[in-house]
Amino acid sequence: MRIFLGVILGFFLTLGLAYVADTGRHAVCPAVEGRPLVNWDEVNLRFTQLSDSVQKGWHKLTSH
């Protein structure tokens, strides 16, 4: 159980740090131009698709 919790915590910590690095990079140094490290629009789209899929699967499992 500790390993599972550690993996989940590590995933969210990595994602959070990547987001902070992407958003803070341009605020600290406006001369830095370029694309962010992560395409957050694509992450949002895929997360929405995943959550919709999980929701449909849950409704399918719980419906009688």
pLDDT at 10: 94
- Euclidean distance between CA atoms 13 and 7, whole angstroms: 10
23: number of CA atoms within 13 Å, CB side?
A: 7
pLDDT at 9: 95
pLDDT at 13: 95
Digit-by-digit pLDDT tens for the chain (64 residues) are: 899 999 999 999 998 888 887 776 655 555 556 666 677 788 889 889 989 999 999 999 998 6
pLDDT at 40: 78
Q: In the chain, what are the domain boundaries?
A: 2-62
pLDDT at 36: 65
